[in-house]
Amino acid sequence: MTTAPEYVAPEYVTYAHMDRLHELARPRSDARGELNFILISHVKELLFRAVIDDLDTARGALERDDVPDACLALSRATRTQRVLVACWESMNGMSVDEFIAFRHVLNDASGTQSFAYRALEFVMGNRPPGQVEAAFRDGHAMLRAELARPSLYDEVLRHLARQGFSVPDECVERPPEQQHEANPLIEDVWLEIYRHPDRHHAAHRLAESLLEVAYQFSCWRATHLLVVERMLGGKSGTAGTDGAPWLRTINEHRFFPELWTFRTRL
């Protein structure tokens, strides 16, 4: 009997380590939905990183006052965010009984422990003191590195200050780990830009691109909440929160706050 020749991985497999990638999905149960749950979780983690990468590019462009490049990077981030939202569709193929069949194998694993998700929030500017403290205490190195840098929104405000807009000093001179608090004077800046979009064309384009990033992030959170209600009803989460009610509060948060609130006065 002749033995089958040994498998030699072609370049597609070796280039991006596809064999190792596939090895990472290891269900702990025989339940039907668990493999898909792990695969979609992996996909989302990787896409969080892709969004971080584009937002970081946008931040770099703003440091150089290059608004067209920043907008290009933000629109790329937005495309990936739409894919992130669409990923919930795949997870929704699982029925609640299929989820319950393997939920116990998660132990206390929870999305709250995703350092890539937290890094994405930090990049965008959501740096609540509790999360910052946790990151400095025992967080992933990626989080501490991020907290040493101004957020994307910080760089937006610094850029606007350099363009001559009346951005208060405390908004551009804060230590980077301290998050920006909504400020009515920044609302005034966005009001001026939206009252005269032709005069402030670049800043207006930038604002629209930023709002789309914030909007897509909120869509992701809102859809996550719906999936949680679908899978858990009123059950508590694996991180020990009360589940849907906790996520409902999180859903009220808005990135780039004055970009949402100035509209009331327009």
CB of 236 to ligand HEM, least distance (A): 6
CA 11 to chain CA mean position, Å: 32
Instruction: Give the H or E element holding residue 81.
Output: helix 67-91
Q: Which residues bind ligand HEM (CB under 6 A)?
A: 40-41, 44-45, 91, 99, 110-112, 114, 117, 224, 227-228, 231-232, 237-241, 243, 246-247, 250
Question: Which structure tokens are listed for 35?
Answer: 């493999």
**Taking Cα atoms as reference points, which of 55, 78, 49, 42 lies closest to residue 217?**
78
Task: Decide whether 14 or 136 has the Cβ nearer to ligand HEM.
Answer: 136
Question: Which structure tokens are listed for 41?
Answer: 């979780």
Task: Decide whether 72 or 227 has the Cβ nearer to ligand HEM.
Answer: 227
- Which residues in 204-237 are b (16+ Cβ under 10 Å) and which e? bbbbebbbbbbebbbebbebbbebbebbbeeeeb
Instruction: Give the H or E element holding residue 255.
Output: none
CB of 80 to ligand HEM, least distance (A): 14
Distance CA 150, CA 127 (A): 11
CB of 227 to ligand HEM, least distance (A): 5
CB of 47 to ligand HEM, least distance (A): 9
Task: Decide whether 34 or 187 has the Cβ nearer to ligand HEM.
Answer: 34
Task: Decide whether 45 or 53 has the Cβ nearer to ligand HEM.
Answer: 45
Question: Which structure tokens are listed for 262?
Answer: 């100035």
DSSP string, 32-45: TTHHHHHHHHHHHH
CB of 69 to ligand HEM, least distance (A): 29
Task: Decide whether 216 or 238 has the Cβ nearer to ligand HEM.
Answer: 238
CB of 77 to ligand HEM, least distance (A): 17
Task: Decide whether 112 or 163 has the Cβ nearer to ligand HEM.
Answer: 112
